[in-house]
Amino acid sequence: MTVRCSAFVILVLCVPSIDAWAACQRNERGVYEDAACAAEAFAKADKELNETYKHLLATLDEDAKEKLRVAQRAWVAYRDANSKFVYSVEGDGSAGRMVVSNQSEEQTRARVKELRSWFSNN
């Protein structure tokens, strides 16, 4: 009897994780509808951006490195300023956080693609 009860408890505890996974799927517009999933996707994109940026820096001469650093700081400042604007329009509740995360992820992935395009030029 205890074995059946334990198996039932395990099954019941697994159901929320299945629901959470389903909530983390992109919708037909290509965005996440759950704020936590959107934030996680943005964090992954940001990590990928940092890795790509570091790899690109390693391929450049000193002059180009400095120019890339300046450009990257300006790009990050733009992304952050844009997020503040979106918060001012959407609010800083869960809907606003979700919109900001989705937009930030999209912008960050575009920047990763842009930086990667420079690898073929070096």
Q: Which residues pair with 32 in a beta bridge?
A: 26
User: DSSP 3-state assignment of 33?
Assistant: coil
Statement: residue 17 has pLDDT above 50: no
Q: How confident is the model at residue 99 (pLDDT cuts 50, 70, 90)?
A: confident
Identify which has the larger pLDDT, 92 or 58: 58
pLDDT at 4: 45
What number is the average pLDDT over the span 39-48?
92
User: Predicted confidence band at 112 (pLDDT cuts at 50, 70, 90)?
Assistant: very high
Q: Is the pLDDT higher at 30 or at 71?
A: 71
Domains of the chain (ranges plus CATH)?
2-121 (1.20.1270.180)
Model-level pTM greater than 0.75?
no
pLDDT at residue 50 greater than cutoff 90: yes
CA 59/CA 119 separation, integer angstroms: 8
- How far apart, in whole angstroms, are the C-alpha atoms of residue 102 and residue 52? 20
The burial class, CB within 10 Å (0-12 / 13-18 / 19+), for 45 is buried
The dihedral formed by the CA atoms of 76, 78, 82 and 83, expressed in degrees to the nearest 10: 20
How many other CB atoms are there within 10 angstroms of residue 66's CB atom? 11
